[in-house]
Chain A
Amino acid sequence: MIIERIKVKLNSFLTKTHYEQVCLLLFAFLVASLTKSNFSYHFISVPIMVIAISSLFIEFNLAKNKVFWCAALLLILMTLIEDWTLPANHDYLLIYFILAVLLSSSKNGELSDHRIAYHTMCLFALTFLLAGVQKLLSPQFMDGSFLSFAFHTDNFNSFILNKIPFLSQEFHENEIILKELLSTDPNLEKIAVLGYQLKESQLIFKYVSWGVVGIEFLVGIFAFFKMKSQLYLWLVLFFLVLIFFVRPEGFICVMLILAWPHLPKKNSTLQYVFLTVIVSILSLIIMHNAYR
């Protein structure tokens, strides 16, 4: 009985246009994300926030409420105006996404869906391609040193590896070695060696790094041609969830929302799985178990 009711409610969401669904999902992400952001210029940002919230009382249909999207855009833009080097790269992605929502708006639902599909496809593909290019041009990434360092100093193991007591202790000892090095005068040119070492791992990390770049390029290139392919969307979901388990970052949720308008309306399984993952990540962000 309850499951049937949930299904009916979910269907009312799934029968909306893709544009309306994207607006709702992005709104949920913005609520989770912006409430954890720091805003300066309070004499401007507070009134903008007042306008954004007030606009929801007047027009709760987010697909029609341009005041809210403009206010959200202004809020994030203000952090860039204050200092463009401080906001994280995914804050820029949010700006592009809100711009995409505004550029896609139309009284005609079909046209909105068409536009949002195009803009999200571009953003999705460019994000992966540019991330691949940045890594490819970074010697530190391509020789495996970045992944090796992240692994050995517990930067990447939030969900799985550091739950193992032995590894947790080893990672902790490496962190102490790192802190000791950082506390000494760098002009002395001291060299520290990590205590816990995954032996013969240099080649593994090097090949994993190449693999990551290869996958990012493939995901980015195929997005231009195969964004609506169910196999592609399942693989993207698997890849993104895998990344999230390695490093629980909120931008994974943004990438899933970018992929949302390309989900086939007839495949409710894929929609349910995407929705479950998106909602789970949002919950983890709100509960401070994932980065915003």
Chain B
Amino acid sequence: MGIGAKNDFGDFIDSCCAFSFKKTVDIRGVKAIGIKLILPVLVLLVAGHQYYTAKNHSLSKWKGGGFGMYSELHFGARDIWVQSNSGFYSIFSGPENYKYRRYANKARIHPKSGAMNKLAEYIKADQRLKKIRIQVWELVFDPENFSLTRNRLLDDDY
């Protein structure tokens, strides 16, 4: 069977591209370029979107498809603190807060997003509160004097 065989998935995609451009331009050239560009363009679009969201909306570079793992501290170095009637506490401390982990994990990966609202709503509903204050902190390491401090990423009432 020759190289031009058209009866499999990849070949089908080839045919579809060819059909779309049939009447306008040189079919072979465009479809070949189209097939070759699908993946690289997709990778670059997703990575670009992830980088933009990480830079402007505090998304952890470890997530979201941008290949930014190991370029900054892991999102585990981010902590969420809640101010409510029962005091001021880290959502990741104590077994009583375990039920919030799922939402809290999402919220620390992408603090400036709907995930934080969902976490706040869940805590308020669970503890029957009208209002809570949430802070997100991230760890900062100074390699010169080996010191650890924390930087506030978010501080809002919900």
**Interface residues, chain A, CB within 8 Å of chain B?**
66, 83-90, 92-93, 96, 99-100, 102-108, 110-112, 115, 118-119, 122-123, 126-127, 130-131, 134-135, 137-138, 140-141, 143-146, 148-149, 152, 155, 177-178, 181-183, 185-187, 189-194, 197, 201-202, 205-206, 247
A-B contact count (CB 8 A): 178
- B46 contacts A92, C-beta separation under 8 Å: yes
- B143 contacts A126, C-beta separation under 8 Å: no
- A84 contacts B10, C-beta separation under 8 Å: no
Q: Which of B9, B38, B90, B145 has the most CB of A within 10 A?
A: B9
Question: A102 and B43 in contact (CB under 8 A), knowing A182-B79, A189-B149?
Answer: no
Question: A102 and B147 in contact (CB under 8 A), knowing A108-B1, A146-B70?
Answer: no
- B115 contacts A85, C-beta separation under 8 Å: yes
6 additional contacts (CB under 8 A) given A131-B70, A206-B143:
A83-B115, A85-B110, A102-B10, A103-B38, A106-B5, A126-B43
SS class of chain A's interface: helix, strand, loop or mixed? Answer: helix
Q: Which residues of A have CB within 8 Å of B65?
A: 84, 87, 89, 92
- B10 contacts A127, C-beta separation under 8 Å: no
A-B contact pairs, 21 of them (CB 8 A): A85-B106, A85-B113, A89-B64, A105-B8, A106-B8, A108-B5, A115-B10, A122-B36, A122-B39, A122-B43, A130-B43, A131-B69, A138-B68, A143-B143, A146-B72, A178-B139, A182-B90, A185-B88, A186-B152, A187-B135, A189-B149
Question: A144 and B143 in contact (CB under 8 A), knowing A149-B73, A186-B152?
Answer: yes
Question: A178 and B110 in contact (CB under 8 A), knowing A85-B64, A88-B63, A186-B135?
Answer: no
Nearest-neighbour CB distance to chain A for B150, whole angstroms, equals: 5
Question: Across chains A and B, which 6 residue pairs bring their CB atoms closest together, nearest first?
Answer: A92-B65, A134-B68, A148-B143, A130-B67, A149-B141, A138-B71
Nearest-neighbour CB distance to chain B for A265, whole angstroms, equals: 19
Whether B100 is near chain A, meaning CB under 8 Å from some CB there, is no
- B146 contacts A152, C-beta separation under 8 Å: yes
Counting chain B residues whose Cβ lies within 8 A of the other chain, the interface size class is 35 or more
- A186 contacts B71, C-beta separation under 8 Å: no
Nearest-neighbour CB distance to chain A for B143, whole angstroms, equals: 4
Which single member of A103, A111, A134, A202 contacts B143 (CB below 8 Å)? A202
Q: Which residues of A have CB within 8 Å of B42?
A: 96, 99
Question: A88 and B69 in contact (CB under 8 A), knowing A83-B106, A144-B143?
Answer: yes
Question: Once the chains are docked, how many angstroms separate the CA of A76 from the CA of B99?
Answer: 26
Question: Across the two chains, which residue of chain B brings its CB closest to A84?
Answer: B64
Q: Which residues of A have CB within 8 Å of B36?
A: 118, 122
Which single member of B63, B64, B148 contacts A193 (CB below 8 Å)? B148
Question: A111 and B5 in contact (CB under 8 A), knowing A126-B44, A143-B143, A145-B141?
Answer: yes
